[in-house]
Structure 1
Amino acid sequence: MKLVKSGFCTVVFVFSLLSLFAQDRKLLLDKPGSFKITVDKLNGLGPDEYGRTCDFTDAECKVAVKNLTALLSVFRKTAVLTENKGFDGINYLNAGNCNTKFGYGLPCTVYILFETWSLIKGKIVKQTVEPPQFRFEVNRTTVFNKNGFEETNYSNAYNPTNPAYNEKGMNEATVAINELFYMPGVKEEVVPGIDRYGNNLVIYNPDRPAYWDQVTIREVFRLLFDYWKRVPDKATMEPMMEVFEAEYATYSESERDSFAYFGSPESISRIGSAKNNTPVMRSNPDYWNKKLPRSDIQFMVLEIPPQKTLENEVKTLLEKQDGGYYVSRMLYELDIDNLRHEIAH
């Protein structure tokens, strides 16, 4: 009984300390701040999963920085960044992962960092280590790859027992199955050129072909079979192949050519034919307008919750004196409609 009481008191004591610390922290909302843009070498971080590099030129990177800076000006128009008080802001343009199969435009991961100023225990402190930040992806239609299909790559297996295993085939089969993903939320067209999937926004050119394509049941199982028959451990491979073959056998020929959706979680494949809000997708390389320079912005993915959610976040984070307040406020004040005007046509 004493032990329980002691543990309870310890928990209360810890929470009390955390509460006191939170109360002792005060954001310096009126302290003037600075703002700068930092640029990494935007070379595509090659080679990609296919063993190829994108080889973006210095000239392309220079033009891309100009385009990305224009994009950032949309964010700079928000009141919180125009006022620039309470934090030192940093825009960091980082090289994004290129993809020679499904990509085209120069990819970039964009960071907006808020190095917040606070008064903590009577001292003025700037948060420079992992400050509140917002990041989004430019020119990457493959952001959601592996969502629900992240299979392990056993290409470096030691002492394989499966005669069908080989390093090259295992790697290629893993890369292929991991190109698939479940749609990341119910699709809602905000306006032509802006689609919402839950908290994620996709900004694109609506005059181009679809940026993602649905995948058939036949194709999904082809990739699953190709992956599992190459798994190095024979004792693992054989029962898994039997299960997948049994599940595939339940579909008629016409069903196999229909689109795949998230199925029963009780099945191993988790693939179904019943239409729902979670279809199996794969990036469409035909989306890109390859007549445009590779330095142009053609596609963006940003995590921006709906306005009501952001409004509540702004209020809550300010009450807690949490530096994330600046991020939520920026997103709340952001005119997302202006983002689509930065997409090249």
Structure 2
Amino acid sequence: MIREIAYKIVLLLFSIIILASASFAQSSKYLPNKPGKWTYYSNIKSPGTEVAAFNKNLAVLAEWFHLNVPILTNPKGFDVLTTSFGIWDDKYKLQACNYGLRSELNFDFQLFLSDLARGGKWVIEPPHYSFYINNTETGHGTNSNFLGWDNTKDPQSLEAAMDKAAAGLNDLFRIFPLVRDIAPGVKLYGDGNLIVFNPNRPPFWIPVTVKEIMEVKLAYYKVKHEIDSINYEKMLASWAKMNFNPDPEHTMRPQLYQMIKQEFENFTTEELNSPAYSDASDENGISSINAQGNGRAVVRFNPDCWDRSLPVTAVQFMSLQYRPATEQERDEFKPRNKGLEDFVGKFFNKLPVGKMGILIDKK
């Protein structure tokens, strides 16, 4: 049921893109039989030998898809523009679990059109698909995004403490249940999350206990409480200069830390040592954490998953949204989208996922 709903969302988004992209079907005919070509381009242009080595590895990875997915090998009705993008983030580097350089590999299906006034090809927001390389924040669909220190308003004295606390909390995330092991080094989780990894390394995700996540939450909200309290006092001082003195009983003083602290203290010793689950319901309070198995398991990315004897430019972890289309879904797609085929669905259906383990660099 979840898969069907998710796939319908993909169809809806694809339909919106089609309608929003100059309504080409009303003024230009699609040319499905015109032979196309494959092009690869790297958008990672930073200087240095490290980036050059990473680009070389990404080009090899892209070429594997070119040679092993028929819709990319012999495109018809469109050109395939494949582009690699770098993902750089100083905050990301603060997390102990991160090692490899990150990238996104994107496939644009640039449909041929009869309208030469439009360039004869759909190049602006065409149907496309992308996936991630060496990105520990993907593959589960439940990214944490707790903000670190804000240089526009937070005290500089708490910069290091806030960034450290946020990095610790962003290390943790929820995962969908395992659907099946497709092949050594290839696992499929719920909601179409496909993970490609080195099966000879330790597990890429490791469980977190209730005690662990509650301590991390408390560490974060304790620093945040300090910052919010300082900013709150600044706000009161600013109001006082304007002769505005609200009733203290009706002002919202920071109190989130105390609420989570109370929830922590309410757990029994047995619960604190149990695997943590997250479920946003009233009974789980502000923290959403429980030890009863309700919701999704809370895990962290395992730093030991990386083979650190390999350079950071090596491809060691890949995460994809994998949603092969059923025959019925393919049949329904075409009339809904003015005669266009479901190129992304065809990509999934022909993707040899069982062979993808060879794409991971190993010693």
**TM-score per shorter chain, which class?**
0.7 to 0.9
Identity %: 26
1:251 equivalent among 247, 263, 267: 267
Distance 2:195 2:216 in 1: 27
Is the aligned partner of 1:92 residue 2:83? yes
CA distance 1:120–1:75, shift in 2 (3 Å):
same
What SS does the aligned partner of 1:279 have? strand
- 1:126 maps to 121
Shift of 1:104: 2.6
**Equivalent of 1:168, from 160, 172, 186?**
160
User: Kindly tell me: are residues 71 and 214 of structure 1, through their superposed partners in 2, closer, same or farther at Cα, counting changes over 3 Å?
Assistant: same
Structure with the higher helix share, 1 or 2: 2
Choose which of 246, 266, 273 in structure 1 pairs with 2:291. Answer: 273
Instruction: Determine helix, strand or coil for the equivalent of 1:332.
Output: helix
Q: Paired residue for 2:243?
A: none
Match of 1:192 among 181, 184, 200: 184
User: Residues 185 and 130 from structure 1, CA distance in 2 versus in 1: closer, same or farther, beyond 3 angstroms?
Assistant: farther
Residue 30 (structure 2) aligns with = 27
- Asked if 1 retains the 8 angstrom alpha-carbon contact of 2:139 and 2:193, the reply is no
Distance 1:214 1:263 in 2: 16
1:82 aligns with 2:73: yes
8 Å contact 1:88–1:115 — kept in the other structure?
yes
Distance 2:289 2:164 in 1: 22
- AA partner of residue 208 (structure 2): V
Greater shift in the superposed pair: 137-146 or 261-270: 137-146
Equivalent residue, structure 2, for 1:49: none
Bigger Cα displacement from structure 2, 314-323 vs 118-127: 118-127
Unaligned runs of 5+ in 2: 1-18, 233-251
Provide the residue aligned with 1:202 in structure 2: 195
Equivalent residues of 1:146, 1:178 under 8 A apart: no
Q: Is the 8 A contact 2:184 2:357 kept in 1?
A: no
Pairing of 1:99-118 with structure 2 (within 5 A) = 99-100=92-93, 101-118=96-113
Structure 1 residues 253, 193: closer, same or farther in 2, change over 3 A? same
Q: Residue in 1 aligned with 2:360?
A: 343
- Partner in structure 2 of residue 317 of structure 1: 333
- Answering whether residue 352 of structure 2 is matched by residue 332 of structure 1, we say no
Deviations 1:77-112 (A, max 9, x none): 322222222112111111134654323333221111
Match of 1:289 among 266, 289, 307: 307
The TM-score normalised by the length of structure 1 is 0.78
Aligned length: 309
Q: 1:117 to 1:185 in 2, by over 3 A?
A: farther
Displacement of 1:143: 2.2
1:72 to 62, 71, 76: 62
Q: Is the contact between residue 137 and residue 301 of structure 1 (CA under 8 Å) also seen in structure 2?
A: yes
SS at match of 1:118: coil
Give 1:252 shift: 1.5
Letter in 1 for 2:256: M
User: 1:182 deviation in Å?
Assistant: 0.8
How far off its partner does 1:23 sit? Answer: 6.1
Distance in 1, matches of 2:147 and 2:81, equals: 36
User: What code does the residue aligned with 1:170 have?
Assistant: M
The alpha-carbon deviation at position 159 of structure 1 amounts to: 7.6
1: CA distance, partners of 2:37 / 2:332: 25
Distance 1:251 1:84 in 2: 58
Deviation digits for residues 102-137 of structure 1, max 9, x if unmatched?
A: 233332211111111134699774211112111111
